[in-house]
Structure 1
Amino acid sequence: MPPDVSLIIPVFNNEAFLDESLSSARAQEGPSLEIIIIDDGSTDASLEKIKAHAALDPRIVVITQANQGVSAARNAGLDRASGKWLAFLDGDDWLAPGSLAAWHQQAERDHLDCLMCNGFSFEKDIQTLLDEAILRRQPWDSILTGPAWMMHAVKVKEWPHYVWMQFCRRSVIEEANIRFRRDMIHEDVPWTVQLALAIKRIGFSQPPRYGYRRNRASLTQSRDPDKVRHRIASYLKVAALMKEFAHGQPPAVRRPLRKQTLREMGHFLGLMRKGNVSPADRSQFAAQFLAARIAGQMLKGASNYRELAATFKAWYLCHIWKRRGAQP
């Protein structure tokens, strides 16, 4: 008989935190559970730790693969999952006891397609931050359609693109054929957009049960030139996907997608200005921004003077950077 919940855990070189993370997963009780751990080509002792936990818990399924990135690891977990519900846990994070039971009970009771959960962030000591919530502006007592949630979240400037706080009905994911994009980081953004467009009933769980570890060595904090280039290129891909997702949607749905494009391009511009980027790379990315006519998307999403000014600034700076790169 299939389990109630499939918990998908991608792992890459999480040796230092893995015992804590996997112990929190194994401590979950209530719904029947399969714990799918994907070792994405770790070069430290992560796989040995995974196998040690698997020897103690028959609910654990271990998948090993060559390093392909977190998107490919999560996709491997999705392909293997058999539970009615899907949950995600990163290999350096933590789940409070009873989390899956509480989420499962609410999702079943309210006949949801997805439950947006809450979490807290920490660096070393989990216990000191249990009362700090990441999400504060969600419609806690409501059940919305996915597009209505998207419109609300963009309006209040809190659209959580965190797959690890989404407790989803697996049949919805499979019917919409949603998978993580392997060619980019910020892969949670297109995943969440596709999810929002697919779900008919989304609810919200306010207690912060998911512990997100602030990792200063993460890709999003690095100033390594290759990683910065990857992030910039991914923001451009996010803008292209937002345009693709908006095509054919009613105006009420297109507007928040364009508004979110404007906000994502704020991150793009910040990296272009302050990141560790060579003039040649900056020129190339600026040319891609202009060729894709992203400023036009931003302009359609702008609703005040500040956003209009940000759009013009992005367009103007990209013209300057492109020309500088073309100079001999």
Structure 2
Amino acid sequence: MDNRLVDYAHDRFPLVSVVVPVYNVIDYLPETIRSAVNQTYTKLEIVLIDDGSTDGSQDYCDKACVLDSRITVLHQENAGLSAARNAGLRCITGEYVTFLDGDDVLTPTAIETLVTIAMESDSDIVTGSFQRIARSEDLVALKSDNAYRVMSSQEALEAICFPHELNISSCGKLYRVSCMGRIAFPVGKNFEDLATIPQYIARAKKVAVCTSVVYGYLVRQGSITGTGTIDQKKYDDAVCEINRLAKFLVEDGKASRDAIEHIVAFSWLRIFRMLPVGKDSYLSVDDWDRLTSFLKRESLRWRFDDRVARVERIRWLLFSISTNLYLRMFELHSRLTGLNIV
């Protein structure tokens, strides 16, 4: 589609809300907002939720809304990412919504790509691919024919449990607002997407999966995706959200038992590499041994399973050989690229 020939203000095109939680990201926020306002799809409302920023981000949000009438700003006391997203969801008016974190960026055609697929396929959720980047200039918007595959909610839940085509992140996706119901992100919790996005998927009639890169995750110090270790609060949140995920999937009944068991094990495999060791560890020796033994058993189960994506099978294989080898893989990758693998 040549967006230069399209009047997106026409009634046949849906209004898309872009919810942007903002907290002390002044060094990244200008590029984040620029990536939203410069979208080739122009029928947008951009909602900036200032979550009690103190570094000047709050003032920048106010200035941005003066420069573009599509931008609105909501200021609130600091309550965390989930509370900010929930506040944004309560005030949006779009038919569709997408989430953009205040230190990430969209590719220029991201929303056009997702909306086009949503309209063609009548999908309730459309998801694109993402890149992890050290700076916004590193995001490469690869040319694509916007090929996509449509799944039922059952197929999508199965796919999200064997992460390959479909990931569990809230970002890089377009949601039909009416499909989301009253499901909110868990306030005060980290790993907030883990048990929330599957609930949205379970409510969808169709989920379209597109290979086009639409989103750039900026990996920085202080973010969960960018930090090497997590503190005990984040660990406790991980326990809570993994349990909540498993409970929902079992009660929902669409995903197979194997799928549920894999996403639980895989979630713990990802958490394992973020845990501090030695004198900084907050786990008891017994808890550490139980987690390691559990993952060892799971690694033998999944390392050669074709339902698991190749890169994840490699993770399981490395863990089955040696926990130290598994952890050293992340260290080596970080040194070579400057980016952490999640």
Shift of 1:216: 2.8
Aligned-residue sequence identity (percent) comes to 24
Shift of 1:130: 3.8
Q: How has the CA–CA distance of structure 1 residues 82 and 233 changed in structure 2, closer, same or farther, with 3 Å as cutoff?
A: same
Q: How has the CA–CA distance of structure 1 residues 7 and 99 changed in structure 2, closer, same or farther, with 3 Å as cutoff?
A: same
Partner of 2:100: 89
Partner of 1:317: none
| Residue 171 of structure 1 pairs with residue 178 of structure 2 | yes
1:32-64 CA-to-partner distances (Å, cap 9, x unmatched) read 211000000111010111111111111111000
Alignment of 1:89-128 (within 5 A): 89-124=100-135, 126-127=137-138
CA distance in 1, matches of 2:88, 2:76: 11
1:24 to 26, 30, 35: 35
CA distance in 2, matches of 1:115, 1:212: 18
1:238 to 236, 241, 262: 241
CA distance in 1, matches of 2:189, 2:286: 15
Q: Would you say the 8 A contact 2:195–2:242 is kept in 1?
A: no
SS in 2 for 1:282: coil
1:203-251 CA-to-partner distances (Å, cap 9, x unmatched) read 1222212222111332444468xx5112211221122112311333447
- State the TM-score, normalized to the length of structure 1: 0.78
| Residue 55 of structure 1 pairs with residue 66 of structure 2 | yes
| Residue 64 of structure 1 pairs with residue 72 of structure 2 | no
Q: Would you say the 8 A contact 2:242–2:267 is kept in 1?
A: yes
Partner of 1:161: 168
1:182 to 187, 197, 201: 187
Partner of 1:260: 263
SS in 2 for 1:168: strand
Partner of 2:331: none
1:174-227 CA-to-partner distances (Å, cap 9, x unmatched) read 2xx221111321111111221222111011222212222111332444468xx5
1:75 to 77, 81, 86: 86
2:222 to 214, 217, 220: 217
**Gapped runs of 5+ residues in structure 2?**
1-10, 305-315, 324-342
Q: Would you say the 8 A contact 2:220–2:227 is kept in 1?
A: no
| Residue 149 of structure 1 pairs with residue 152 of structure 2 | no
Alignment of 1:271-310 (within 5 A): 271-272=274-275, 274=277, 277-278=280-281, 281-283=282-284, 286=287, 303-304=301-302
CA distance in 1, matches of 2:40, 2:139: 24
CA distance in 1, matches of 2:278, 2:81: 23
CA distance in 2, matches of 1:212, 1:305: 27
Partner of 1:204: 209
Shift of 1:168: 0.6
CA distance in 2, matches of 1:87, 1:169: 9
Q: Would you say the 8 A contact 1:34–1:83 is kept in 2?
A: yes
SS in 2 for 1:185: coil
Shift of 1:108: 1.1
CA distance in 1, matches of 2:179, 2:217: 26
CA distance in 2, matches of 1:144, 1:8: 25
- State the TM-score, normalized to the length of structure 2: 0.75
Shift of 1:106: 1.4
Q: How has the CA–CA distance of structure 1 residues 251 and 179 changed in structure 2, closer, same or farther, with 3 Å as cutoff?
A: closer
Q: How has the CA–CA distance of structure 1 residues 273 and 245 changed in structure 2, closer, same or farther, with 3 Å as cutoff?
A: same
Shift of 1:117: 1.2
Q: How has the CA–CA distance of structure 1 residues 265 and 219 changed in structure 2, closer, same or farther, with 3 Å as cutoff?
A: closer
What RMSD in Å do the two structures reach over aligned CA positions?
3.6
Partner of 1:324: none
**Gapped runs of 5+ residues in structure 1?**
134-138, 315-328
Shift of 1:125: 5.1
SS in 1 for 2:171: helix
| Number of equivalences | 297
Q: Which has the higher helix share?
A: 1
Partner of 2:333: none
Q: How has the CA–CA distance of structure 1 residues 122 and 179 changed in structure 2, closer, same or farther, with 3 Å as cutoff?
A: same
| Residue 4 of structure 1 pairs with residue 5 of structure 2 | no
Shift of 1:172: 0.3
SS in 2 for 1:190: coil
Shift of 1:76: 0.5
Q: Would you say the 8 A contact 2:99–2:173 is kept in 1?
A: yes
CA distance in 2, matches of 1:154, 1:21: 30
